[in-house]
Structure 1
Amino acid sequence: MKKAALATLAFMVFIIIALQFPFQVRTAKAQNSFSISNFYHTIGIMRNGYVIINDTIEFSGQPPNSFLVGFPYKYGAYVQKCVAYNETTSFQVKLAVPLGDRAGFYAVNVSFPDVPPQRFTILFILSNTLLNQSETTYTLDFPLYPSLTEKVENCTVKVSLPSGAGSISVSKDDETTNKTEFYMENLPSYTHSAAKVTFSLTDSEIQILDVKELKREIAISGTSEIQCSDNYYITNKAPSNMSYVTVVLPPNASNPTAYDQFGRSISSSWTNKTAGLYRVNFDLPIRSYESSSFSIKYSLPSIVYFSAESMFNATPLLFQNVDYNVESASFTLTLPEGAKITNLENTFATGRSGISKSVFQETLTINLDYASYLESIVPPAKVLQIRYEYNPLWLAFRPTLWIWALALVGCTVAVVWKRPKAAVPVQVAAAVVAAKLHPEHVKSFVQMYEEKRKILFELDALEERVRRGKIPRRRYKVQRRTLEMRLNTLDRNLAEYKERMRKAGGLYADLMRQLEIAEIEINEADANIKSIETRHSQGTLSLEAYRKLLADYQQRKNKAQTTINGILLRLREETR
Structure 2
Amino acid sequence: MKKKSLTLIILTLILLPTSFLFVSQSVKAEHSDDYFITNVNHEITILYNGYIIINDAINLVGNASQEATIKSIKIGFPFQYGANFLDCQAYDVSQTFNVNVNVPFEGHMSFYAVEVVFPEPLNITKGKEYTFNVGFILSNNLFYMIETGKFVLDFPAYPSLTKPVANCSVKLNLPESATNITIAKDDGNVNTAQYFKENLSAFAYYPANLIFSLSEDKLQLFDVEELKREITISGLGEISGSDSYYIISKMSKEIAAIEVVLPPNASIVGAYDQFGRKFESTPSLVDAETNRYRIALTLPVESYKSTRFTVKYSLPSQNYLNAQGENSEFNCSSLLFRNIDYYVKQSSVSILLPEGARLRAPETVAYADSFSLSRNVFQEALTLNMQGVSPLNNILPLKSNLQIIYTYNPLWLSFRPTLWIWALSLLGCAIVLFWKRPKAAVPVTVPTIAVQLSPETIKSFVNSYEEKKRIISELESLETGARKGKIPRRRYKVRKRTLETRLSALSRKLAGYKEKMRVAGGKYADLMRQLEVAETEINEVEANIRSIKMRHRRGDLSLEAYRKLLSDYEHRKERAETTINAVLLRLREDIR
Bin the TM-score by the shorter chain: 0.7 to 0.9
Partners of 2:505 and 2:32 in 1: CA distance:
74
Residue 290 of structure 2 is matched in structure 1 by: 275
Cα distance, 1:482 vs structure 2: 9.7
TM-score by length of 2: 0.73
1:426 alignment partner, one of 412, 437, 445 = 445
Q: Counterpart in 1 of 2:504?
A: 494
**Contact conserved, 1:65 with 1:112, CA < 8 A, in 2?**
yes
Partner of 1:138: 151
1:290 corresponds to which letter in structure 2?
K
> Is 1:114 matched up with 2:120?
yes
1: CA distance, partners of 2:152 / 2:397: 33
Contact map agreement 1:235 1:291 (CA 8 A) in 2: yes
Taking a change above 3 Å as real, the CA distance of residues 72 and 221 of structure 1, as seen in their structure-2 partners, is same
Alpha-carbon distance between aligned partners in 2 of 1:58 and 1:147, rounded to the nearest angstrom: 14
Letter paired with 1:108? V
Q: 1:26 Cα deviation (Å)?
A: 4.8
1:68 and 2:74 correspond: yes
Deviations 1:344-365 (A, max 9, x none): 5856644211211111111111
Who is 1:392 aligned against?
410
Instruction: State how far apart, in whole Å, the 2-side matches of 1:202 and 1:425 are.
Output: 78
Q: CA deviation at 1:302?
A: 0.4
Cα deviations by residue, 1:377-415 (Å, 9 ceiling, x for unpaired) = 223525321111111110000010011101111111111
Counterpart residue number, 1:100: 106
Question: Which of 403, 428, 433 is the aligned partner of 1:410?
Answer: 428
2:43 is the alignment partner of 1:35: no
Cα deviation digits, residues 548-570 of structure 1 (max 9, x gap): xxxxxxxxxxxxxxxxxxxx989
Select between 305-314 and 342-351 the one with higher mean Cα deviation.
342-351
Q: Aligned in 2, Cα 1:287/1:166: closer, same or farther, shift over 3 Å?
A: same
1:168–1:247 CA distance, 2 compared to 1 (3 A): same
Provide Cα deviations, 1:465-524, integer angstroms capped at 9, x if missing partner.
xxxxxxxxxxxxxx9999678646643543333443465469xxxxxxxxxxxxxxxxxx
Q: CA deviation at 1:438?
A: 6.1
Q: How does 1:423-462 map to 2 (within 5 A)?
A: 423-429=442-448, 441=468
Change over 3 Å in CA distance of 1:24–1:237 after alignment to 2: closer
**1:45 counterpart letter in structure 2:** I
Structure 1 letter corresponding to 2:98: Q
Matched to 2:358, the amino acid is K
Distance (whole Å) between structure 2 residues aligned to residue 440 and residue 176 of structure 1? 65
Task: Give the AA of the match of 1:423.
Answer: V
Structure 2 runs not aligned, ≥5 long: 1-5, 63-67, 124-129, 483-488, 517-538, 545-571, 577-592
Normalising by the residue count of structure 1, what TM-score does the alignment of the two structures yield?
A: 0.75
Q: CA RMSD of the aligned region, Å?
A: 4.0
Aligned equivalents of 1:302, 1:486: Cα separation in 2: 57
- Is the contact between residue 355 and residue 363 of structure 1 (CA under 8 Å) also seen in structure 2? yes
1:352 aligned onto 2:370 = yes
Contact 2:228/2:349 (<8 A) preserved: yes
For 1:30 and 1:395, the matched residues in 2 are separated by 72
Determine if contact 1:348/1:383 at 8 Å carries over to the other structure: no
- Following superposition of structure 1 onto structure 2, how do residues 281-430 of structure 1 map, counting pairs within 5 Å? 281-307=296-322, 309=324, 310-343=328-361, 349-419=367-437, 420-429=439-448
Contact 1:448 1:494 survives alignment (8 Å): no
Q: Distance in 1 between matches of 2:432 and 2:542?
A: 46
Structure 1 residues 245-287: Cα deviation after superposition (integer angstroms, max 9, x where no partner): 1111110000011111110110232232443121222222110
* More off after superposition, 145-154 vs 165-174: 165-174
Of 205-214 and 346-355, deviating more is 346-355
Matched, 1:179 2:189: no
Rounded Cα–Cα distance in structure 2 between residues aligned with 1:446 and 1:398: 55
Task: Answer whether contact 2:471 2:503 (CA < 8 A) is retained.
Answer: no
Cα contact 2:42–2:170 (8 A) shared by 1: yes
8 Å CA contact retained: 1:47, 1:324: yes
Residues 346 and 384 in structure 1, CA contact (< 8 A), matched pair in contact too: no
SS at match of 1:399: helix
| Counterparts of residues 545-560 of structure 1 (less than 5 Å) | none
Selected match of 1:151 from 164, 174, 177: 164
**8 Å Cα contact 1:80/1:126 also seen in 2:** yes
Q: Is the 8 A contact 1:346 1:383 kept in 2?
A: no
Counterpart residue identity of residue 500, structure 1 = L
Change beyond 3 A, Cα 1:498–1:116: farther
| SS of the residue 1:177 aligns to | coil
Q: 1:302 to 1:67 in 2, by over 3 A?
A: same
**1:94–1:430 Cα change, 3 Å:** farther
Instruction: Provide the rounded CA distance (Å) in 2 between the counterparts of 1:501 and 1:94.
Output: 62
Does the residue aligned with 1:252 lie in a helix, a strand or coil? coil
Native 8 Å contact 1:268 1:278 kept in 2:
no
Identity %: 40
Maintained 8 Å contact 1:339/1:391: yes
Counterpart contact for 1:376–1:382, Cα < 8 Å: no
Contact between 2:347 and 2:389, CA under 8 Å: does it hold in 1? yes
Counterpart for residue 584 of structure 2: none
Aligned residues: 489
1: CA distance between counterparts of 2:182 and 2:24? 53
